[in-house]
Amino acid sequence: MEGTPGNAETAALFERIADLLEIRGENVFKVNAYRRAAENILETGCPLAEIRAEGTLRQVPGVGEAIAEKIEELLDTGRLGFYERLREEVPESLLELLEVPDIGPKRVGLVWKNLGVTDLAGLSAAAADGRLKDLPGLGAKSEAKIRKGLEDLASRKIAVRTPLGVAWELAAAVRESLLGAPGVERIEAGGSLRRMKETVGDLDFLTAASDAEPVMDRLAESPLVAEVLLRGSTKMSVRFRGGMQGDLRVVERARWGTAWQYFTGSQAHNVLLRELALKNGYSLSEYALKRTDGTERLCAEEEEVYRILGMAWIPPELREGRGEIEAALKGGLPRLIELADLKGDLQSHTEASDGRATLEEMAEAARKRGLRYLLVTDHSQGLGIAGGLSPEALLRQVSRIRELGRSFGDGFRLLSGSEVEVHSDGSLDFTDDLLKEVDLVVAAVHSALSGDREKVTGRFLSAVRHPLVHILAHPTGRLLTGKGRTGADADWDRVFSEAAATGTALEINASPMRLDLTDTLARRAMELGCLFAISTDAHAPEQFDFAHFGVSVAKRAWIPPERVVNTWEVDRLLKWAREKPARVADRVR
């Protein structure tokens, strides 16, 4: 955390500290002290900075000497050393487990200390394998309850949230249908869709129009709508066919900036922005920035809202209350990757394995989208369900790729590769001699993702340490569509650290059914020094259009373009690939 935190952010931090302390096994009095302080800080109407300036910080109920000193450290530095040390000792990902019914902080601490579980995927694997029932104080009945709680949590999340790719298509269709309504000056989506979260709860549409009635009539009459749930003078709620709910709000054009900012969220971002506005003498709402004398300052564009509050415009993908406001105030927002930065695609499939188009058709589709190179990565023979290539078939494909590549006169490069399977013992599906024949190797784990954590971690480590593996494909293996799949439970810090040390790129798979790595894991990998590849995993020509989903994951992870290997020119990319054996050798010494 950087910058000066407000009351809400400080209270949330103290709640996290309380949970982590209880997971660690701290005494109940210390844990409750932080909870009580958090509760009273939230109920305090005056900003903590003003209370401190008045010298009355220790008069806030629940704020004793020790907690007051921590608040002062936060106010002075924007950081809290105690919290940072605590996070090093207790993995913050354990807080996810508290969402599961029938498992509180003490049980979270139990499974962490005894089984090495650090996240929901790990807890699911332990429950499925029957490892919980033998822990002190649990048993078969408790294990069954936790397993049921995990199922309920998963179904609840699936029931109320829609994968980004599905929501994106619906939102695009709705927006297109409303654009032609009389009087509409502008219409955009907000909410978690605009922030490009991997799943979306409902759709929020904001419209600038001189008259709300025609645009609401248009939405009510749309064949996409199953039912109108609510209709007012400027607001309308509907249920779309398929079950998603949507809200439409109509504002005057002069108030567009504050409205779009407000309805984009997130809640955490907006709370912090409102606190900043108060410090600058304004109250911020969806309608305007209001001065203390009651007069309004209207913002027709979002950029004006942020400029008035002393910072650059913050991209919506960053608006999660994760330090973006503090960075913007200091002029330290990163240069985020954009779709135009991608020069190539490093995972694609043809009809030779499980793709739906020929090599020529895939190459032509990539060229039409302005890419300068395409890596063809049909599956290796071990993934029989995908029609993986035999060694002989791969060699024939390599020859055909080289032959076809010579026919391109515009500098486009067609690269040979393989999505090679990583076996349960960590070995690869093809021999080293065969892999040396291709330009780049993409390694993938498709099976036994929910097995023993140490063994799963070992498979990933073997892959990134291999001197001929350049990219680790869709690392967790999770799926967002259909019945879904939570993905592998591995020691990701170990995997990421090894990938960074060997210069192995981690894939951000842009397919909306995967979006893997997740934004949170990708940001952790970036902090540990990793490189990335944003790949579409295209199995058909139109799927090259998935690239923007992967770019959005990278944005949410604060990844700059220089850390993404397919923003590089092809010669630099191939040089990096050729140097992998030397990097591994240096790592072994």
Helix (H, G, I), strand (E, B) or coil at 225: strand
Q: Which pLDDT score, from 0 to 100, does residue 44 have?
A: 59
Within 8 A by CB and 6+ apart from 252, the residues are 208, 210
Contact 348, 542 (CB under 8 A): no
DSSP β-bridge partners for residue 577: none
Closest alpha carbon to 176 in 235, 210, 223, 211: 223
| Two tokens, residue 389 | 């290539």
Tokens 């700059």 -> residue: 560
**Between 3.30.210.10, 3.40.50.10680, 3.30.420.40, 3.40.50.2000, what CATH number should domain 267-329 receive?**
3.30.210.10
| Two tokens, residue 576 | 């990096």
Distance, in Å, from the CA atom of 550 to the CA atom of 389, rounded to the nearest integer, reads: 27
| Cα-based distances in Å from 537 to 378, 444, 547 | 10, 12, 9
Helix (H, G, I), strand (E, B) or coil at 92: helix
Within 8 A by CB and 6+ apart from 174, the residues are 203, 205, 219, 222, 224, 240, 246
Is residue 492 left, alpha or beta, with left meaning phi > 0 and alpha meaning psi from -120 to 50? alpha
Closest alpha carbon to 504 in 421, 381, 587, 394: 587
For strand 296-297 and strand 440-444, is the pairing parallel, antiparallel, or unpaired? Answer: unpaired
C-beta neighbour count of 250 within 10 angstroms:
25
- Tell me, which fold does domain 7-160 have in CATH? DNA polymerase; domain 1 (1.10.150)
The DSSP annotation for 253-271 comes to GGGHHHHHHHHH--HHHHH
Q: Which pLDDT score, from 0 to 100, does residue 156 have?
A: 53
Q: Which pLDDT score, from 0 to 100, does residue 15 have?
A: 85
Pure H helices in 479-565? 492-502, 519-527, 547-556
For strand 245-251 and strand 162-163, is the pairing parallel, antiparallel, or unpaired? Answer: unpaired
Q: For the structural domain made of 162-251, what CATH number should be given?
A: 3.30.460.10
Q: Give the residue ranges of the chain where pLDDT is below 70.
A: 1-6, 8-9, 42-46, 102, 154-160, 384, 481-484, 588-589
Pure H helices in 411-491? 432-435, 453-465
Helix, strand, coil distribution of the chain in percent, nearest 5 = 50, 15, 35
Q: Which pLDDT score, from 0 to 100, does residue 1 have?
A: 44
Instruction: For residue 361, report the phi and psi dihedrals to the nearest 5 degrees.
Output: -65, -40
Q: Which pLDDT score, from 0 to 100, does residue 2 have?
A: 43
526: buried, middle or exposed (CB in 10 Å: 19+, 13-18, 0-12)? Answer: buried
Query: What pLDDT digit, counting tens, does each position of 220-247 carry?
Result: 999 889 999 999 999 999 999 878 899 9
Closest alpha carbon to 373 in 544, 500, 580: 544
- Tell me, which fold does domain 342-588 have in CATH? TIM Barrel (3.20.20)
Confidence (pTM) = 0.74
Tokens 């979260």 -> residue: 197
Helix (H, G, I), strand (E, B) or coil at 412: coil
Q: Start-end ranges of CATH 1.10.150.110 in the chain?
A: 7-160
Is residue 448 left, alpha or beta, with left meaning phi > 0 and alpha meaning psi from -120 to 50? left
Contact 157, 198 (CB under 8 A): no
Q: At what angle do helices 492-502 and 580-588 cross, to 10 degrees?
A: 120
Contact 288, 258 (CB under 8 A): yes
Distance, in Å, from the CA atom of 311 to the CA atom of 280, rounded to the nearest integer, reads: 12
Distance, in Å, from the CA atom of 508 to the CA atom of 133, rounded to the nearest integer, reads: 36
Which one-letter amino acid corresponds to residue 565?
V
Sheet holding 296-297, edge to edge: 282-284, 289-291, 296-297
Prior bond of 266 cis (ω within 30°): yes
Q: Which pLDDT score, from 0 to 100, does residue 158 have?
A: 46
Tokens 């973006």 -> residue: 324
DSSP β-bridge partners for residue 188: 206
Q: Could you tell me the sign of the dihedral formed by the alpha carbons of 569, 574, 577, 582, in that order?
A: negative
Tokens 């993702």 -> residue: 449
Query: What pLDDT digit, counting tens, does each position of 38-70 carry?
Result: 877 765 556 788 888 888 888 877 788 899 999
Helix (H, G, I), strand (E, B) or coil at 150: helix
Reported in sequence order, the residue ranges of 48-202 that DSSP labels E, i.e. its strands, are: 162-163, 184-189, 199-200
Distance, in Å, from the CA atom of 136 to the CA atom of 539, rounded to the nearest integer, reads: 49
| Two tokens, residue 23 | 């997971």
Q: Start-end ranges of CATH 3.30.210.10 in the chain?
A: 267-329
DSSP β-bridge partners for residue 246: 203, 238
Is residue 411 left, alpha or beta, with left meaning phi > 0 and alpha meaning psi from -120 to 50? left
Q: Which pLDDT score, from 0 to 100, does residue 197 have?
A: 95
Closest alpha carbon to 415 in 401, 404, 403: 401
Q: Which pLDDT score, from 0 to 100, does residue 128 have?
A: 84
